[in-house]
Structure 1
Amino acid sequence: MSDERDGAVSAGDGTDTPDEGDTGSPTAVVTRPQRPSGKRSRREGAGTAAAVVADTAKNGDGKKPKKPKAAKTGPSRNPITFVINYLQQVVAELRKVIWPNRKQMVSYTTVVLIFLAFMVALIGGVDFGFAKLITLVFG
Structure 2
Amino acid sequence: MRITKFFPEVASEMRKVSWPKRKQLGRYTVIVLTTVLLMGLFFTVVDLGISELIRLILE
TM-score where L is the length of structure 2: 0.93
Which SS does the other structure have where 1:100 is aligned? coil
**1:84 match:** 4
RMSD over aligned CA atoms reads: 0.8
What amino acid is aligned across from residue 40 of structure 2 in structure 1?
A: V
Which blocks of at least 5 consecutive residues in structure 1 are unaligned? 1-80
Counting aligned pairs with the same residue, the percent is 36
Cα shift readout 1:35-71 (whole Å, capped 9, x = no counterpart): xxxxxxxxxxxxxxxxxxxxxxxxxxxxxxxxxxxxx
**Structure 1 ranges of 4+ moved more than 4 A:** none
Deviation at 1:82, TM superposition (A): 1.6
**1:11 match:** none
Q: Of 2, 16, 22, which aligns to 1:96?
A: 16
What amino acid is aligned across from residue 93 of structure 1 in structure 2?
A: E
Q: Which has the higher contact order (CA 8 A, sep 6+)?
A: 1
Deviation at 1:127, TM superposition (A): 0.5
> 2: distance between equivalents of 1:104 and 1:137?
49
What is the number of residues matched between the two proteins? Answer: 59
What amino acid is aligned across from residue 58 of structure 2 in structure 1?
A: F
Report the structure, 1 or 2, having the larger helix content. 2
**1:123 match:** 43
Which blocks of at least 5 consecutive residues in structure 2 are unaligned? none
